Structure 1
Amino acid sequence: MHNIQKLAFGLLAAAAVASASDVEVLKKDTFDDFIKANDVVLAEFYAPWCGHCKALAPEYEDAATQLKDKGIKLAKVDCTEETDLCQQHGVEGYPTLKVFRGLDNVSPYKGQRKAAAITSYMIKQSLPAVSGVNKENLEDFKKADKVVLVAYVSPTDKASRDVFESVAEKLRDNFPFGFSNEVDLAEAEGVTQPAIVLYKDFDEGKSTFTAKFEVEAIEKFAKTASTPLIGEVGPETYSDYMSAGIPLAYIFAETPEERKELSEAIKPIAEAQRGVINFATIDAAAYGAHAGNLNLKADKFPAFAIQETVKNQKFPYDQEKKITHDDIKAFVDDFVAGKIEPSVKSEPIPETNDGPVAVVVAKNYEQIVLDDTKDVLIEFYAPWCGHCKSLAPKYEELGALYAKSEFKDKVVIAKVDATANDVPDEIQGFPTIKLYPAGAKDKAVTYSGARTVEDLIKFIAENGKYKAHVVEETEEASAAPAASESSTASAETAEETHDEL
């Protein structure tokens, strides 16, 4: 009897936890009505077997609870049960997150998969592109997010207001935007109309824009002023730094005290290079393996390196030398002046390379992948990646089919160990598969379908210059799911545990 009571109590407790969820579970017959009934909804399309979905679940629940009082709803759809609904909304991988403002206004969620990031992103989505601010609500608006922008513009200056509003529409996913035409409020904030003040909860607290209101100039100001002088690289900030469009200087150190000490020494350099190079510390105890991606030794810290993020080039600072202000300044100055050659990590070029899958290394990447006469399908893999190992025999089969087809001189199936070779592509996860079409190498297409021979053939035929289609010799069934799980390097845990960004 005691065991029955324990079981009953456990079931009741589980039911209580389930009912306490602030995430709405939607199905085909409830989805449309729920979207119509709410101004803004973040919907997650997921599969129960998806590892990334499982990792997202507690963060998503936390964000839903934080946003509940603000009237912002989070929902989820199980795509293994609601297949038609997920196909209707173009779901190709898990998890897929979309922001709905009604059924006809849908946009992809572009933030990080952490509770704080989801909350911040959705608050911005719930606000108008530009909110009116006044003496009564300005202080509250300043606290709406870590960074907010407020324009102080004269009531008669329609041109400046129009420019500001166009920037706000473009960057509404990044920042809350406020607007005031009160002269007294501008004076109280220490500016003369027209001006923009970027308020932030770090560094100097605010930055001011007083130049002519032009879209490009304001965008550049917002991007530069909103980036910490010396920030921190981690899972929540990495993609922002990679997409910033300027190089990133890493300061690796194992303790908070050491990171603070080095930051203070390098701070004047970061100030001088603001808008030219971003500077950030990185916890070498947690993410020391990332040093290897920058061609540094991953067991010798502190360390310093610069990554040219656009070209994915690496410039490691000599780890035998001490990190001092003067030496780092000289290194950074030489980098900016173009006096330092990038470090290139490459395996040796294979002596023979006539197998069904061409082996690419950094030293032959351009020769093979960028051969403008051929469609090249290339897999970026890691030796420890479980999904890559599962794909390997099917990928070899794919290569063999093309090697003995009429397209053998027009289509190349290739692979590269992206952990042992520097490649110009920024690879976010393994395996990543891309097609570089002949005659259009600047228009590579990333594959996101099921990892089957049949689907890869279809992808090559649809996206390559030669529309090369071959036929499988066997009709073996594939176990791959219809939609692929979004893959990040940190999710792959085969023989080793890899704590990567």
Structure 2
Amino acid sequence: MHTARNFALGLLAAAAVATASDVEQLKKDTFDDFVKTNDIVLAEFFAPWCGHCKALAPEYEEAATSLKEKDIRLAKIDCTEETELCQQHGVEGYPTLKVFRGLDNVSPYKGPRKAAAITSYMIKQSLPAVSTLTKDTLEEFKKADKVVLVAFFDAADKASNETFSKVADKLRDNYPFGATNDAALAEAEGVTAPAIVLYKEFDEGKAVFTEKFDAEAIEKFTKTAATPLIGEVGPETYSDYMSSGLPLAYIFAETAEERKEISDLLKPVAEAQRGVVNFATIDAKAFGAHAGNLNLKTDKFPAFAIQETVKNQKFPYDQEKAITLEDIKTFVDDFVAGKVDPSIKSEPIPETQEGPVTVVVAKNYNDIVLDDTKDVLLEFYAPWCGHCKALAPKYEELAALYAKSEFKDKVVIAKVDATLNDVPDEVQGFPTIKLFPAGSKSEAVTYSGARTVEDLIKFIAENGKYKASVSEEGEEASAAPAATESTTSEAAKQTEDHDEL
């Protein structure tokens, strides 16, 4: 009897351990006190049915455990139960992550949704924009993240101090910044003030900036030196490469050994183009479907391609040719010189436009979307996207309303299959809806509201040149969270062996 009772108690204790969490679940009556009593809090506003929230959960738990010892707390709020609290904090989609330094200092979380990235981001957020360093704290600070920057300048050099602080304020989400005016410490590190040393866990270990302290020059140095000579594209690094402003050269290979072999082979090219083109390997077994997004075949590796990230142009290297140092050098040099034409993937232009929604493809994109005389609402969709399918009948209704209104020649409701057509716009999830106003096509406005006909009409009326508003007929569509599905190819969606970037 006692044995059975002890066994039962043991099971309960084990269950308690298994369910123990370092993520604090907050409610309306506990939220304010928790935020006030902790210096910094990362809060996740979620819904139990949300697929992206479920994917985030184990990463969030792991980060919470890592950060607890640093007195950085992670919390979560169930918005299906705490609707008022979530509305109060402007939550429109799930998951929404916000960084709280008290109730009045709130900023969006801007990092990837992986444990290591969350941990790194929050450590940087917990530090001052510039940490004051001494000989006793420098070595520990060097290990604060994969990349840290330390400025060495004289105490009287206020101009260098102010410039460095300005850069630190701008880039604090990306890197920890430290500074010291200890001349002996500068000498020990092999530099003469004023100077900046970027310490990193890869490549040559550090890079030194000794030019005049100019904010733009420091930023350029930082972004170049902080990027591995030949890095790796994956879920934690993809967004950084896309936002770097530099073209990205992909090296696709199926094994780690082959990726290293090709990286070593192409290292001279990467060194010659450092700061001009970023180079990175990508696991073709896990992310081979991404090759299709670069207009490469998805079943023939190794492969090489360059993506012009700003214009979203693709330059695939002929997969029938071997990857040699000489040929890749010529290909990259020609790309930099503007001698390589981009590859454009496009469906055929429709012979006739059937239905009220105008079908856009890459070959007619400029003619329709960039028509300066019309307000164009464009949906970027994927055939496999469930949210896109749910939107389709409402979008058809919206298009029909404008087609028979006085604005039929001034407003275009259009859609493009972004998996089959190369578009110049950055699309990070499906569906993405943008309005391109007449007369100011470069100022496209991204829609983030509820996907109802009524709200889309308001959006067009408020942001279009013609302030075009039409009356909705029939029953009003119900409001739904503006959820999106991350971009990936159909092959990646349907094959469990492939992950999305």
TM-score (norm 1): 0.95
Q: Which residue of 2 aligns with 1:484?
A: 482
Q: Which residue of 2 aligns with 1:151?
A: 151
Kindly provide the CA deviation profile for residues 75-133 of structure 1, in whole angstroms up to 9, marking residues without a partner as x: 11111111121111111111111111111111111101011000000001111111111
CA distance in 1, matches of 2:494, 2:290: 18
The within-5 A match list for 1:115-264 is 115-264=115-264
Q: Confirm or deny that 1:17 pairs with 2:18.
A: yes
CA distance in 2, matches of 1:484, 1:361: 25
CA distance in 1, matches of 2:394, 2:8: 47
TM-fit CA distance, 1:437: 1.3
CA distance 1:467–1:5, change in 2 (3 Å) = farther
Q: Confirm or deny that 1:328 pairs with 2:328.
A: yes
Contact between 1:386 and 1:494, CA under 8 Å: does it hold in 2?
no
Residue 55 of structure 2 aligns with an amino acid whose one-letter code is A
Q: Which residue of 2 aligns with 1:456?
A: 456
5+ residue gaps in structure 2? none
Kindly provide the CA deviation profile for residues 248-272 of structure 1, in whole angstroms up to 9, marking residues without a partner as x: 0000111111100100011111111
The within-5 A match list for 1:213-362 is 213-362=213-362
Residue 174 of structure 1 aligns with an amino acid whose one-letter code is N
CA distance in 2, matches of 1:134, 1:459: 54
CA distance in 2, matches of 1:361, 1:499: 27
Contact between 1:375 and 1:466, CA under 8 Å: does it hold in 2?
yes
Contact between 2:251 and 2:304, CA under 8 Å: does it hold in 1?
yes
TM-fit CA distance, 1:383: 1.5
TM-fit CA distance, 1:472: 2.3
Contact between 2:27 and 2:82, CA under 8 Å: does it hold in 1?
yes
CA distance 1:477–1:314, change in 2 (3 Å) = closer
CA distance in 2, matches of 1:474, 1:382: 28
Q: Which residue of 2 aligns with 1:369?
A: 369
Q: Which residue of 1 aligns with 2:440?
A: 440
Residue 349 of structure 1 aligns with an amino acid whose one-letter code is I
Say which SS state the counterpart of residue 406 (structure 2) adopts: coil
Kindly provide the CA deviation profile for residues 9-37 of structure 1, in whole angstroms up to 9, marking residues without a partner as x: 7666544434x211111122221221111
Contact between 2:121 and 2:173, CA under 8 Å: does it hold in 1?
yes
The within-5 A match list for 1:424-435 is 424-435=424-435
Say which SS state the counterpart of residue 267 (structure 1) adopts: helix
Kindly provide the CA deviation profile for residues 374-418 of structure 1, in whole angstroms up to 9, marking residues without a partner as x: 111111111222222222222112111111111111111111111
CA distance in 1, matches of 2:447, 2:271: 41
Residue 297 of structure 2 aligns with an amino acid whose one-letter code is K
TM-fit CA distance, 1:371: 0.9
Say which SS state the counterpart of residue 251 (structure 2) adopts: strand
Contact between 1:195 and 1:209, CA under 8 Å: does it hold in 2?
yes
CA distance in 1, matches of 2:6, 2:426: 55
Q: Which residue of 1 aligns with 2:65?
A: 65
TM-score (norm 2): 0.95
Say which SS state the counterpart of residue 442 (structure 1) adopts: helix
Contact between 2:112 and 2:236, CA under 8 Å: does it hold in 1?
yes
CA distance in 1, matches of 2:342, 2:495: 29
Contact between 1:454 and 1:472, CA under 8 Å: does it hold in 2?
yes
Q: Which residue of 1 aligns with 2:472?
A: 472
Say which SS state the counterpart of residue 344 (structure 1) adopts: coil
CA RMSD, 1 decimal: 2.1
CA distance 1:394–1:197, change in 2 (3 Å) = same
Residue 250 of structure 2 aligns with an amino acid whose one-letter code is Y
Identity between Structure 1 and Structure 2 (%):
78
CA distance in 1, matches of 2:383, 2:320: 29
Contact between 1:371 and 1:438, CA under 8 Å: does it hold in 2?
yes
Say which SS state the counterpart of residue 184 (structure 1) adopts: helix
TM-fit CA distance, 1:484: 2.2
TM-fit CA distance, 1:38: 1.3
TM-fit CA distance, 1:450: 2.2
Contact between 1:26 and 1:75, CA under 8 Å: does it hold in 2?
yes
Residue 99 of structure 2 aligns with an amino acid whose one-letter code is V
Say which SS state the counterpart of residue 93 (structure 1) adopts: coil
CA distance 1:445–1:496, change in 2 (3 Å) = farther
Kindly provide the CA deviation profile for residues 32-60 of structure 1, in whole angstroms up to 9, marking residues without a partner as x: 22111111111111111111111111111
CA distance in 2, matches of 1:6, 1:300: 56
Kindly provide the CA deviation profile for residues 402-447 of structure 1, in whole angstroms up to 9, marking residues without a partner as x: 1111111111111111111110012111111111111221111112
Residue 452 of structure 1 aligns with an amino acid whose one-letter code is T
TM-fit CA distance, 1:324: 0.6
Say which SS state the counterpart of residue 63 (structure 1) adopts: helix
Q: Which residue of 2 aligns with 1:105?
A: 105
Q: Which residue of 2 aligns with 1:38?
A: 38
CA distance in 2, matches of 1:334, 1:8: 71
CA distance in 2, matches of 1:438, 1:496: 41
Kindly provide the CA deviation profile for residues 344-368 of structure 1, in whole angstroms up to 9, marking residues without a partner as x: 1111111112520001000100111
Say which SS state the counterpart of residue 484 (structure 1) adopts: coil
Moved runs in structure 1, 4+ residues, more than 3 A? 1-18, 490-499
CA distance in 2, matches of 1:188, 1:164: 21
Say which SS state the counterpart of residue 442 (structure 2) adopts: coil
Say which SS state the counterpart of residue 245 (structure 2) adopts: coil
CA distance in 1, matches of 2:447, 2:274: 36
TM-fit CA distance, 1:328: 0.4
CA distance in 2, matches of 1:125, 1:494: 34
Kindly provide the CA deviation profile for residues 454-497 of structure 1, in whole angstroms up to 9, marking residues without a partner as x: 2222222222222222222211553x52x222431259987665
CA distance in 2, matches of 1:399, 1:48: 33
